[in-house]
Amino acid sequence: MAMLTNAHALLIGIGNDLPVTVKDATAIYTILADKKLAGYPKENIILVTENNATRQGILDAFDTLISKIDETSSVMLFYSGHGGLYEPWNQFYLVPNNFDPENYEETWVTAEELKDKIAQINSQRLIFFLDCCHAAGMTKSLPEIRLGKTSKSAENKDPFKHADGLAQRIDDGKGMSIISSCREDQLSYIMDGDSNSLYTKCLIEVLKGKHKRYFDEPFVRISEVVHYIFKKVPERNPIQNPYANLQIYDDFILSNIPKNLKNRVHEPESTAIEADKSSTTVDIITVYRETETATSAILFVHGFSGEAAKSFGQIPDFLSKDEKLEGWDMFPLGYSHNMSPEMGKNIWASKNDLKINIDYLKTSMKYKYGKYKRIAIVAHSLGGLVVQRAILDMDKSLRDKISHVLLFGTPNNGLLKSSKQKSWSKLLKDLSSNSPFIKTLRQDWSYMFKNKYPFTLKIIAATKDEFVSISSNFKPFEAEHCVTVAGTHFSMVQPKHADHDAYQLIKTTLTDNAFSNQFTSAEDINLVLGEYNEVINKLLPNANHLDKTGLEQLLFALEGMGRNEDVFELLKTHPLAKDNSDLLGILGGRYKRKYLNEFTAEDGKEAIKFYSIALDMAMKNKDFDQIYYHAINLAFLTLIINQDYNQTKVYAKQAMAATKKTPFENMWKLATLGEANLYLGDLEASKGYYKKAAEMAGIREKISIHTNAYKAYTHMMQSNNPNDPYIKFLKSNFLS
């Protein structure tokens, strides 16, 4: 078994009144140093415990570590012991074995000293595990720090409440991942019968590969450790919730999996090793603008399909260049590029990922952004749910700092779920309109605010949001807070110019100016809000002179009013619609997405109807690009809605035949071939085409392709086992 020759670790167990801390650090050492387990060279592991874990011993150990590593090293830091806060100075610190409360400045290790040592570690592949407190039954109160002869407590009544505050104080903002054992208002426990703390026990389990039945590679990476600890600790002890920052410079290898588990690895070992050598490392952007004098800050909280620094496109740059926004510092907040959510880079997320982000936002408001007197929050997609829950859960003193909240494309009322829909993912039950998370969120929000907000609130929907329905977006809020802008779910927050409505809305809201839509047409807004009559009255009299955009608006409005005969009449007579299957496909796609969001039978029937008409028209015109596009969508809908696998195969063969008559291998052609081969049972060919399509696709396209492939495959296999090789292939290529 190959050794991780450039993997290093510094493990600290303080001892004294916490003997379990020594057991914890020693247990981690034993795993890392075992050639049959983690595979660290023993000379790369520094273990500091008991009498060696003094202030000087800890600082010297860091210096030794610094001298050993280079920029390609991976570094694991582990600290088990007391953490303290000296409130008169707001000073966080570690409590060494020789800590003297009367000579505290000479015997503690401050957060600033720790941060300085970490800054000298010449590698961004760094993770810090903090187990700073233990069960009340096995701990003693920390000695009070004394100033002269007068005793002044350096702690709260409970001295073990500051692990996440300490974590944020040592965070260098450069990609170091920090995981602490519990939140600031909680204890870290050792459970009955255990010899290690619960937090360390879970860390040991994941390092031993007990978190999975099968592996893609013979290694354990940081992201796996984070997800396992955050899942298992509260499962076993609901009153203990770990904390993590959301930065990972590189999802690097933390350990080998044990030798006895090698038979569970699907892929050859050489593939995994090569993948790690070429792993993509993207610089972590944690600041858009930060000044010494600003007292106001804007936090941009993104969803789970991308990364915080890129989700809002040029908006932060536009704001930074606008004189009216001088005095506002700006920061992204959310998972970094290399931190993969539990469900992958998807529109939706698990409740565990939501909780990680909720806790991080609350803690960041208190510590990382604690100096600011006024904070505005701009959120997108599920980031909006994170923001709402965090606002409800944070202390009133923090909530009172919030001046503005803008939520873009957020499923505020959850997702509509059909109990008869077999393809509905079990994970999405956490986001359904009747889920405990959504119901509790809406009840708590209504109870706390009663439509009277201490901050300016804007709820923003996009005219062509393909993932979040207008009803879910707007339903929980009064109309005065609701605004509509142009775009899709993603493009609504990625304007290409400063005149775009989304940017103008943010700017005018923050500067307390009146907002008026400049870019989004009134027809688009009225259409989305269901005011179809106004659109029809304005556009129908001039129907023959409309451009394609105007014609699309009119068609959608007529369809919304149930005037199907008028729709067909337009499609038959309008110069642009004559023999144009694309417009019919637009309608079919609209109903398809609506069906997949809400699972209404009538929407499914309408989707099939319009795709069928579009296919007939494309066949008549011998438009092969349109033929394979409509045929593959009908294959999908026939399977999901009609349960007719034989007809699905007919459409799949038709789509495949049409692709052979088009000259260019574009992304949608490759995706069509991937999906067609899936329906025809050739999974290897399907994976080959899908892999090529994924290399050409953007985030929106990847999610769209994954939606069809995942729902179709799980429907045919009657299983959504996350360890299924094909499901794992789809996730790694389209959601990672």
Tell me, letter by letter, the H, E, C secondary structure of 510-540: HCCCCCCCCCCCHHHHHHHCCCHHHHHHHHH
What is the three-class DSSP state of 58?
Answer: helix
What is the three-class DSSP state of 338?
Answer: coil
pLDDT confidence of residue 338: 52
Torsion angle defined by CA atoms of residues 345, 348, 351 and 355, in that order, rounded to the nearest 10 degrees? 60
Consecutive H or E run containing 125: strand 125-131
- Report percent pLDDT > 70 for the chain: 79
Q: 379, 361, 384, 372: which is closest to 328 by C-alpha?
A: 372
Please state, as a whole number, how many other Cβ atoms lie within 10 Å of the Cβ of residue 253.
23
pLDDT confidence of residue 349: 62
**Phi and psi at residue 126, to the nearest 5°:** -140, 130
Q: Check if the beta carbon of residue 631 is closer than 8 Å to that of residue 676.
A: no
Q: Long-range contact list for 724-728, CB < 8 A, 24+ apart?
A: 725/266, 726/683, 726/687, 728/216
In whole angstroms, how far apart are CA 382 and each of 387, 389, 493, 663?
A: 9, 11, 14, 40
pLDDT confidence of residue 346: 56
Q: How far is residue 255's CA from residue 102's CA, in Å, rounded to a whole number?
A: 42
In whole angstroms, how far apart are CA 165 and each of 160, 183, 292?
A: 11, 9, 21
Highest mean pLDDT among 73-77, 432-436, 571-575: 73-77
Flag whether pLDDT at 345 surpasses 60. no
Confidence of residue 138 (pLDDT cuts 50, 70, 90): very low
Q: How is residue 161 written in tokens?
A: 């409440």
Q: Check if the beta carbon of residue 93 is closer than 8 Å to that of residue 111.
A: yes
**Which residues on neighbouring strands pair with residue 380, listed in sequence order?**
408
What is the three-class DSSP state of 179?
Answer: strand
Q: What is the mean pLDDT of residues 656-683?
A: 94
pLDDT confidence of residue 67: 94
DSSP code per residue over 13-28: E-BTTBHHHHHHHHHH
**Which residues on neighbouring strands pair with residue 76, listed in sequence order?**
9, 127
Consecutive H or E run containing 458: strand 456-462
pLDDT confidence of residue 165: 54
Task: Please state at what angle helix 351-363 crosses helix 163-170, rounded to 10 degrees.
Answer: 70
Flag whether pLDDT at 120 surpasses 50. yes
In whole angstroms, how far apart are CA 428 and each of 345, 353, 418, 546?
A: 14, 12, 12, 41
Q: Please provide the average confidence, as pLDDT, over all residues in the chain.
A: 81
Q: How far is residue 129's CA from residue 433's CA, in Å, rounded to a whole number?
A: 36
Confidence of residue 580 (pLDDT cuts 50, 70, 90): confident
**Phi and psi at residue 482, to the nearest 5°:** -100, 135
Kind of pairing between the strands at 177-180 and 243-244 = antiparallel
Q: Check if the beta carbon of residue 651 is closer than 8 Å to that of residue 658.
A: no
Q: How far is residue 674's CA from residue 652's CA, in Å, rounded to a whole number?
A: 10
Place of tokens 């109903």: 591
Q: 496, 495, 502: which is closest to 409 by C-alpha?
A: 502
Classify each residue of 632-644 as buried b or exposed e, where b means 16 or more C-beta atoms within 10 Å of its C-beta.
Answer: bbbbbbbbbbeee
Using only C-alpha atoms, the chain has a radius of gyration, in whole angstroms, of: 28
Place of tokens 């590679």: 217
Instruction: Tell me the CATH class for 569-734.
Output: mainly alpha
Confidence of residue 476 (pLDDT cuts 50, 70, 90): very high
Helical spans, DSSP H, in 429-500:
436-449, 470-474
Residues 620-654 pLDDT 10s: 989 999 999 999 999 999 999 999 999 999 999 99
In whole angstroms, how far apart are CA 359 and each of 165, 335, 396, 562?
A: 12, 13, 16, 46
Flag whether pLDDT at 49 surpasses 80. yes
**The two domains 7-277 and 296-520 share their CATH topology (first three levels equal):** yes
Confidence of residue 144 (pLDDT cuts 50, 70, 90): very low
Flag whether pLDDT at 415 surpasses 50. yes
What is the chain's length?
736
pLDDT confidence of residue 277: 42
Q: Check if the beta carbon of residue 99 is closer than 8 Å to that of residue 144.
A: no
Flag whether pLDDT at 290 surpasses 70. yes
Flag whether pLDDT at 430 surpasses 80. no
Torsion angle defined by CA atoms of residues 304, 305, 309 and 314, in that order, rounded to the nearest 10 degrees? -130
Q: Check if the beta carbon of residue 483 is closer than 8 Å to that of residue 459.
A: yes
Flag whether pLDDT at 571 surpasses 90. no
Q: How is residue 411 written in tokens?
A: 């499923």
Looking at the chain, the number of H-run helices and the number of E-run strands are: 28, 19
Q: Check if the beta carbon of residue 131 is closer than 8 Å to that of residue 200.
A: yes
Residues 68-89 pLDDT 10s: 999 889 899 999 988 877 777 7
- The domain ranges of the chain are 7-277, 296-520, 569-734
Q: How far is residue 21's CA from residue 134's CA, in Å, rounded to a whole number?
A: 9
| pTM of structure | 0.64
Place of tokens 């919304």: 560
Please state, as a whole number, how many other Cβ atoms lie within 10 Å of the Cβ of residue 695.
10
Residue 118 Cα to chain centre, angstroms: 27
Name which residue leads in pLDDT, 313 or 644.
644
**Phi and psi at residue 463, to the nearest 5°:** -65, -30
In whole angstroms, how far apart are CA 423 and each of 125, 238, 470, 571, 597?
A: 39, 31, 23, 33, 12
Q: How far is residue 439's CA from residue 432's CA, in Å, rounded to a whole number?
A: 9
Give the least confident one: 439-443, 590-594, 663-667, 717-721: 590-594
pLDDT confidence of residue 154: 35
Give the least confident one: 195-199, 255-259, 454-458: 255-259
pLDDT confidence of residue 272: 37
Q: Check if the beta carbon of residue 530 is closer than 8 Å to that of residue 564.
A: no
- First vs last C-alpha separation in the chain: 28
Instruction: Tell me the CATH class for 7-277.
Output: alpha beta
Instruction: Tell me the CATH class for 296-520.
Output: alpha beta
Flag whether pLDDT at 283 surpasses 50. yes
pLDDT confidence of residue 142: 37
Residues 541-570 pLDDT 10s: 988 888 878 887 887 778 666 676 687 678
As a whole number of angstroms, the longest Cα–Cα distance in the chain is 96
Confidence of residue 465 (pLDDT cuts 50, 70, 90): confident
